[in-house]
């Protein structure tokens, strides 16, 4: 089977969270208030440094499901163990100290207040990686939008699988993306941080940021200027294959990815402003189509993960209207998620959108 093989670098431009639903467990971290870092470690390594008496006391606390006791015991003893440090903002330090200062609370309350969602990581090295599935999903969305733009008519449907099947010429065995292989992306250099993810109306002003009462999450993110590497392989279907639409490098990158994510980037800049700095060297490579804007991970925005089509007649984004009202469907999201060091930031320029990166092709070959 013939293939197009690409070696890539992914340059992170804005906070990126590509998680799998895992969290920092209370028995596997503490926050150093002085250094403003979260130190994570394996629970078994922590237990190994405890004396017999300390192990018994810690076991009793865990058996009683005393989360406050666990937080306090870990905080008082974890300085003795080595681990991986992740930067945290001062407000999260204050948040942590507030929880440690509580005397009595319900289990659900502390979990809701201090759930720290982890980005994907290697359980052995504890280093982050970006799942190949996240990259492949972004490539697929861009390609679907290219095909939709070239179609004169598309059957109206809110079923994404039915729409994708129509655009790609089949599902399962006939899906051309089954021949696109993306590796997990491993760190070349990386830095992580814990941030608040704030949900705000798209009319971003100082007042809306300060007074917004929307939901928030606490996320571990891969910081801007981090670089990851990986591979993409595009296999060419053989004769007799059920795949009717062949994906080529030219269609996927030079047309689909190039057009789709540049348009989304310009749309976001229109209401957020030019918040992201693009290194000059990458800008040059983008002009040469050796590098491409892309958006990956959690809170990438509904517009970046749906099919737009001309005049937006096929995009149907679910818009929540509150507990007492039914959701509506529209062509655009009405809110945006922003990464912030504070729950009530005073400066909109201090908040960044999630998930923007530049995919650089450093090697291409037919094999």
Quick one: pLDDT at residue 59?
92
Strand partners, 196: 218, 340
Indicate the pLDDT class of residue 192, thresholds 50, 70 and 90.
very high
Whole-angstrom CA distances from 192 to 37, 119, 126, 236 are 10, 9, 12, 38
- Asked whether the predicted pLDDT for residue 217 surpasses 80, the reply is yes
Q: State pLDDT tens for residues 134-169.
A: 999 999 999 988 888 766 455 555 556 666 666 666
The structure tokens listed for 78 are 């974890």
Burial of 49 (0-12, 13-18, 19+ CB in 10 A): middle
Q: Which long-range contacts (CB under 8 A, 24 or more apart) does 206-215 make?
A: 206/346, 206/347, 206/348, 209/340, 209/344, 209/345, 209/346, 209/347, 209/348, 209/351, 210/344, 210/345, 210/346, 211/344, 212/344, 214/335
- Asked whether the predicted pLDDT for residue 233 surpasses 80, the reply is yes
Quick one: pLDDT at residue 312?
47
Q: Which residues contact 290 (CB under 8 A, 6 or more apart)?
A: 360, 361
pTM of the model: 0.87
Quick one: pLDDT at residue 90?
96
Quick one: pLDDT at residue 218?
95
Quick one: pLDDT at residue 67?
81
Residue of higher predicted confidence among 110 and 336:
336
């Amino acid at each position: 089977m013939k293939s197009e093989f690409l070696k890539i670098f992914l340059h992170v431009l804005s906070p990126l969270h590509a998680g799998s639903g895992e969290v920092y467990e209370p028995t596997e971290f503490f926050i150093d208030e002085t250094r403003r870092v979260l130190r994570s470690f394996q629970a078994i390594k922590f237990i190994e440094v405890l004396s017999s008496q300390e192990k018994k006391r810690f076991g009793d606390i865990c058996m009683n499901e005393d989360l406050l006791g666990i937080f306090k015991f870990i905080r008082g003893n974890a300085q003795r163990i080595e681990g991986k440090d992740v930067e945290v903002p001062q407000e999260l330090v204050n948040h942590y100290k507030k929880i440690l200062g509580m005397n009595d609370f319900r289990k659900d309350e502390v979990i809701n207040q201090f759930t720290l969602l982890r980005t994907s990581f290697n359980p052995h090295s504890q280093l982050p990686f970006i799942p190949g599935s996240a990259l492949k999903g972004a490539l697929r969305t861009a390609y679907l939008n290219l095909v939709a733009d070239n179609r004169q008519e598309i059957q109206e449907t809110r079923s994404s699988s039915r729409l994708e099947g129509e655009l790609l010429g089949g599902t399962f065995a006939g899906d051309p993306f089954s021949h696109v292989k993306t590796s997990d992306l491993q760190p070349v250099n990386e830095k992580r941080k814990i941030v608040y993810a704030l949900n705000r109306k798209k009319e971003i002003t100082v007042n809306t940021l300060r007074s917004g009462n929307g939901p928030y999450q606490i996320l571990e993110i891969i910081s801007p200027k981090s670089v990851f590497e990986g591979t993409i392989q595009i296999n060419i279907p053989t004769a007799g294959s059920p795949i009717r639409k062949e994906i080529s490098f030219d269609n996927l990158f030079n047309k689909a990815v190039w057009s789709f994510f540049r348009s989304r980037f310009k749309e976001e800049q229109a209401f957020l402003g030019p918040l992201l700095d693009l290194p000059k060297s990458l800008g040059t490579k983008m002009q040469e189509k050796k590098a491409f804007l892309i958006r990956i991970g959690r809170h990438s925005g509904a517009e970046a993960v749906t099919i737009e089509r001309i005049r937006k007649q096929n995009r149907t984004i679910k818009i929540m209207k509150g507990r007492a009202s039914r959701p509506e469907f529209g062509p655009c999201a009405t809110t945006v998620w922003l990464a912030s060091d504070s729950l009530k930031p005073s400066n909109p320029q201090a908040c960044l959108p999630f998930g923007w990166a530049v995919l650089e092709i450093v090697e291409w070959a037919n094999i």
